[in-house]
Structure 1
Amino acid sequence: MDEQPSRRDVLRGALAAGAALSLTGSLSSCGARPDAPRTMSGGDQWRQFQGATLNFISENTAPTAAIAADLSPFTKLTGINVNIVTLELTALVQRVALDLASGRAQYQVIYADPYQVLAPYHKGLVNLRTMQADPNLPDLPGGWGDFIPAQLDAAGKFVEPEPIYTLPYDAPTMIWQFRQDLFTKYHDRMANDLGFDPTPGGERTWEEYYKIADWFGKNATADVKYGTGHQARQHDSLMNDFSNVLWSYGGAYFDHGKEVGRLGAVDPGPCRLDSEAAIAGAEFYNRLLAIADPASKTWDWDGVGAAFRGGRLAMCPNWHEFAASNEQVMPGKAGYAPLPKGPAGTANMYGGTGVGISANTLPHERGAAWLFIVWATAPQTQLANLKSKAGGGTPTRTSVYELPEVRAAEHRPSQMPNMLTAAAVRQAWQPDKIGLRPKIPMWNECNTAIFTGLSRMLTGGASPEETMRSIKGRVDTIVARGWVA
């Protein structure tokens, strides 16, 4: 097993310096306090809130790691100090819910997960169109149109197409990661034995993926122990891993699945996991996991990422931002492609999140927070994040991908290793290929019901059909009960 630190461990370490600002010091009081200072002397829109202090609460993600490692460009530009608090997602959601309910913003800037923060708490976030329309505040560089459209909708909106509550901030997406060196070494022999070109790509099917995995497990044990591995622990990761297969087989969690995933719904209607297509997807997934590394049932994304880097697996589906760790540990050996297709096409789970502003902020604080999120998502900041040794992340803006130095980084040798996945994620973000889980207020409960049921299936506690019908019943109960803030 790989002894290198996981991607999350790397980020935790990189974030320590930024987090220490808030852990060793004190956050702005959530009691009665004056608004941030404001002066328009000199007419510099970026300096009007100098002396203000903002608190930014975030999950420990790649762009936050890079920003926390060097906040000096923002402070020099604006004169604003920023405290960064980083938490695991569940703890973040709890902290944000309490803060929004308090009526006073301890955290002016919020990392708003679309499913656990935006959908249930969107009324507690500022409609950012009002900030963009304020002539006293700087405009978004490139405007709304520079953000990748599917990401702006999925990360920034809820139900209504006009209000925008967050700016797309990160964009982790699940793709096919594979040992390029081993696929090259065994290509001709595999092609001859299997009767098809085994080169990974979106034109490969899940059935072919199964056959490739099985072949590696039986014929290449001198180089790799298992053909495939998965993030199939009883955890959110299992829902993500399974969903790629579900959608590619034509299954869906609810009717109008793409719309419910892209814009969201308050009441999505009945769960559709009892459909023939959903059951077929579950049957395949159960069969695939039967030949995968048995430890898959104990792994989340970090676990499968470590196993892949450690030389245990020939391939796996995982978040594309693990490329940075792959290239650090096994430079030049990994390849990246869109996930295979099923009878209904291909689907690549998107896990991106936006940054927004608490509606509890005072007027000048709100303006200062706007300056921060505009800067944090600006093209020049995203480019700096790509180059950062502390984090990385990948851009959410089209213009960054068009820069010559970023284009060049898509090929080895690359100083921006996450860009080695660019060809794969560009395909994965196409409207007909992006995988979007349901954006509904009660998703957290539904998610738990889904991965709990799937885990039982994978350990032999229920058949795929029984599992899908059982999860459907549980999800229908949750949706019927509704969600109360």
Structure 2
Amino acid sequence: MTQRGVLDRRTLLRGAAGLAAFCGLNAASAACGGRKDAVRIATDDRWRQFAGTTLNFISENTAPTAAIAANLRPFTELTGINVNIVTLELTALVQKVALDLAGGESQYHVIYADPYQVLAPYSKGLVDLRELAADSSLPGLEGGFADFIPTQLDAAGRFGGGDEIFALPYDCPTMVWQYRADLFAKHHDRMADDLGFDPTPGAERTWEEYFRIARWFNDNTDDVAYGTGHQAKQHDSLQCDFSNVLWAFGGDYFDHGDRLGRYGTVEPGDCRLDTDPAIEAAQFYRRLLSIADPSSRTWDWNGLAPALTSGRIAMCPNWHEYAAGNEQAMPGKFGYAPLPRGTARSANIYGGTGIAINGNTLPNERRAAWLFVNWATAPRTQLANLASDAGGGTPTRESVYALPEVRAAEQRPSDLPNILTAPAVRKAWQPENIGLRPKIPMWNECDTAIYTQLSKMLAGDLSPADAMRETTARINRITDRGWSA
């Protein structure tokens, strides 16, 4: 087991490679070890040719999966295929997927492929979806791959230097500036006079101005206890929160961070957290946390969201899909904007994931799985998920955002509260604004090194410069070990 409970991927994939040579990872034969393929029915209806098949979909417990699980009937009626959905915490999901791929099995036909913990280390065990999209015996992909938001298709669907597409974008949580619009309106003129600038949130604001706005709330009003809060627990959330500032100040984890985040690699080169921009970002982040709600160091995203909706803080960076909860708690009182800019840009971390097909599937299983992946990411399904009482997340397709009913919902009153964030996230997803973590097989270990040293910095045990240098040394040791599969 690794530090965070994930099975050693190198060991697993060595086993997978050996078994693949025996069974045939591409499942060209009808069975491996006695497995039987799904039955294909002679029919002119391309959606119903695998009626009677049962598929297993393993997913993190996310909003789109909750919405689909609550209403699978449309898919079953369309295809005659039954789908069992297994939802797990991400670490447990990664363990089960790793074992399934290594064992040459396809217990899980459809996989929630986190870009960093599944796609990067296991892309060789996933199907290139272009092959299925081009199969004339199967329903085509409505709108084609071009209908997906381009930065998301790359970040969630690709790995390495090739043209393969291993996953279709399925969810797209992205950090944006969430704030109490009612309090900003109430205090706007006074803040502007005191601060000397327009405090209205937006990408034209700077992180230094964000700091000054937060301190103004601390010192000048009893409407909230603190001006800002953060997800600064010693956890992945701390790395995510800090990354927005790191990129905004021109720092990055490795060279060529944009390409590394979009396409990934097994050899990222030397860590760059010891550079001046990264150290400047760390210095600012420590200063920002010094005036934030002190409970920030105990919060991840699930702890931060209630602090905002309970009226404890005036603003925070958080995942945009918390908007629905905000609007339920305090209807009409929130606003959403891209995160502030630093000395380099506005950077908004993207946390989306795609869904993929297990490469161990047999030919007809694979085709049946494509029907589900195709349907689950189709425009009509994404629209239904968006309106679902069970959750639903936000769309990953351009065409859904262009629908008249979705456009109308960007303004209050809105029946689709997550779409109130659409103007902010559209800007956040632009190539110059999106924040992408390094898509490398060893990112899980690097992530742990980052948030561990940041936590020491926030506790006062390390200076920002020492925290960045120590993290750099640790990450270089991790990546120097290399990766083999």
Task: Return the TM-score normalized by structure 2.
Answer: 0.93
Which residues of 2 match residues 99-178 of structure 1 at below 5 A?
A: 99-178=100-179
Alpha-carbon distance between aligned partners in 2 of 1:69 and 1:226, rounded to the nearest angstrom: 38
Report deviation, 1:133.
1.4
Deviation by residue 1:246-291 (Cα, 9 ceiling, x = unmatched):
0000001000011101111110100000000000000000000000
Where does residue 54 of structure 2 map in the other structure? 53
Which residues of 2 match residues 227-242 of structure 1 at below 5 A?
A: 227-242=227-242
Where does residue 296 of structure 1 map in the other structure? 296
Alpha-carbon distance between aligned partners in 2 of 1:59 and 1:40, rounded to the nearest angstrom: 35
Report deviation, 1:31.
7.3
Alpha-carbon distance between aligned partners in 2 of 1:338 and 1:283, rounded to the nearest angstrom: 22
Where does residue 37 of structure 2 map in the other structure? 35
Report deviation, 1:483.
2.7
Alpha-carbon distance between aligned partners in 1 of 2:171 and 2:272, rounded to the nearest angstrom: 30
Where does residue 244 of structure 2 map in the other structure? 244
Alpha-carbon distance between aligned partners in 2 of 1:91 and 1:234, rounded to the nearest angstrom: 20
Name the SS for the 1:57 alignment partner: strand
Which residues of 2 match residues 183-332 of structure 1 at below 5 A?
A: 183-221=184-222, 223-332=223-332
Report deviation, 1:32.
3.8
Alpha-carbon distance between aligned partners in 2 of 1:389 and 1:32, rounded to the nearest angstrom: 42
Alpha-carbon distance between aligned partners in 2 of 1:112 and 1:229, rounded to the nearest angstrom: 30
The number of residues matched between the two structures is 454
Contact 1:392 1:418 in 2 (8 A): no
Q: Which runs of 4+ in 1 moved over 3 A?
A: 30-33
Alpha-carbon distance between aligned partners in 1 of 2:310 and 2:91, rounded to the nearest angstrom: 29
Report deviation, 1:427.
0.2
Alpha-carbon distance between aligned partners in 1 of 2:202 and 2:120, rounded to the nearest angstrom: 33
Name the SS for the 2:452 alignment partner: helix
Instruction: Name whichever of 385-394 and 202-211 sits farther off.
Output: 385-394
AA aligned to 1:83 is N
Where does residue 467 of structure 2 map in the other structure? 467
Where does residue 44 of structure 1 map in the other structure? 45
AA aligned to 2:272 is R
Alpha-carbon distance between aligned partners in 2 of 1:331 and 1:421, rounded to the nearest angstrom: 14
Q: Percent identity among equivalent residues?
A: 70
Name the SS for the 1:308 alignment partner: helix
AA aligned to 2:138 is L
Where does residue 453 of structure 1 map in the other structure? 453
Find out whether 1:346 has 2:353 as its counterpart: no
Name the SS for the 2:59 alignment partner: strand
Mark the runs of 5 or more structure 2 residues left unpaired by the alignment. 1-31
RMSD across aligned positions (CA): 0.9
Where does residue 431 of structure 2 map in the other structure? 431
AA aligned to 1:183 is F
Deviation by residue 1:333-352 (Cα, 9 ceiling, x = unmatched):
11000000000011000000
Find out whether 1:482 has 2:479 as its counterpart: no
Name the SS for the 2:228 alignment partner: coil
Name the SS for the 1:46 alignment partner: coil
Name the SS for the 2:253 alignment partner: coil
Mark the runs of 5 or more structure 1 residues left unpaired by the alignment. 1-29
Contact 1:31 1:104 in 2 (8 A): no
Alpha-carbon distance between aligned partners in 1 of 2:294 and 2:351, rounded to the nearest angstrom: 25
Alpha-carbon distance between aligned partners in 1 of 2:469 and 2:459, rounded to the nearest angstrom: 17
Where does residue 8 of structure 2 map in the other structure? none
Where does residue 391 of structure 1 map in the other structure? 391
Deviation by residue 1:352-392 (Cα, 9 ceiling, x = unmatched):
00000000111111000000000000000000001001012
Alpha-carbon distance between aligned partners in 1 of 2:95 and 2:300, rounded to the nearest angstrom: 22
Where does residue 3 of structure 2 map in the other structure? none
Alpha-carbon distance between aligned partners in 2 of 1:130 and 1:313, rounded to the nearest angstrom: 49
